Amino acid sequence: MIALFRRDLVLAVRAGGGFGLGLAFFLIVAVLVPFGVGPEGGTLARIAPGILWVGALLACLLSLDRVFALDWEDGTLDLLAVSPLPMEGVALVKAAAHWVVTGLPLVVAAPVLGVLLQLPGAGYGWLVLSLALGTPALSMIGTFGAALVVGVKRGGLLLSLLVLPMYIPTLVFGSEVVRRGAEGQPVGVALAVLAGGTLGSVALLPFAAAAALRVNLR
């Protein structure tokens, strides 16, 4: 599993789905929104939690079509299917590699981009915590979606249509954690639901992704 994880990290960087892609998109969103909305600090502060979470979601979405695509094209996925490593483990490793390449840099860079959107000072810690808890769910859900469309030509649009509805709960509760934290309100319920969604996706979706891969490899 460690060797597969390292290989996926190297391939993600070489294929252009590395650390810079998601960060660049996240930065573009944070820079352009103030131009479109206006420089009023109050307006930006109110919409900052939702904008930052939408930017993180779309940044994670950018590289999902490459989670299994390269392995499908060069035949590696067939070898993984007959290897001692179960397909559930393969799906989990793919999701972990995607999160390290895409989600983790967003968590680190989010406070800096929050400054551009004039996020209230009390919200920065909650922003980092919510992204750290929620982005693994985005990667795991995206891996499941990628398993469903593996082998489909130009399946990027189909993949987006499949995973976006499943992303909505994470988006809603993630931005709610930041909003409540920035306003000094209790965040316990929203944070618990966000963490529960991530734990549930990590516990269940590897099995669903493995089943989808087995069907597509027949």
- Long-range contact pairs involving 68-72 (C-beta distance under 8 Å, separation at least 24): 68/94, 68/146, 68/147, 68/150, 68/213, 69/146, 69/150, 70/11, 70/15, 72/150, 72/151
Total-model pTM: 0.90
Contact 139, 102 (CB under 8 A): yes
Question: Rounded to whole angstroms, how far apart are CA atoms 119 and 137?
Answer: 24
Q: Which DSSP letter does residue 119 get? A: -
Only one residue has tokens 């840099």, namely 105
State the Cα–Cα distance between residues 116 and 153, nearest whole angstrom.
39
pLDDT in tens, the chain (218 residues): 787 888 777 776 666 555 577 788 888 888 888 888 876 767 888 888 999 999 999 988 887 877 887 788 777 888 888 888 899 999 999 999 889 988 898 999 898 888 888 888 889 999 999 999 999 999 999 999 999 988 777 767 888 889 999 999 999 999 999 999 999 899 999 999 999 999 999 999 999 999 998 888 87
Residues 110/178, Cβ–Cβ less than 8 Å = no
Tell me, what DSSP letter sits at residue 141?
H
Burial (Cβ within 10 Å: 0-12, 13-18, ≥19) of residue 2: exposed
197: left (phi over 0), alpha (psi -120 to 50) or beta: alpha
Rg (CA), the chain: 18
Q: Could you give the CA distance from residue 54 to residue 170 in angstroms, rounded to a whole number? A: 10
**And the tokens for 203?**
């516990």
CB atoms within 10 A of CB 85: 14
Q: How far apart are CA 141 and CA 166, in angstroms?
A: 7
pLDDT at 187: 93
Measure the CA–CA gap between 102 and 155, rounded to whole angstroms.
20
Two structure tokens written together for 131: 């992204």
pLDDT of residue 91: 92
User: Got the DSSP string for 92-118?
Assistant: HHHHHHHIIIIIHHHHHHHHHHHHHTT
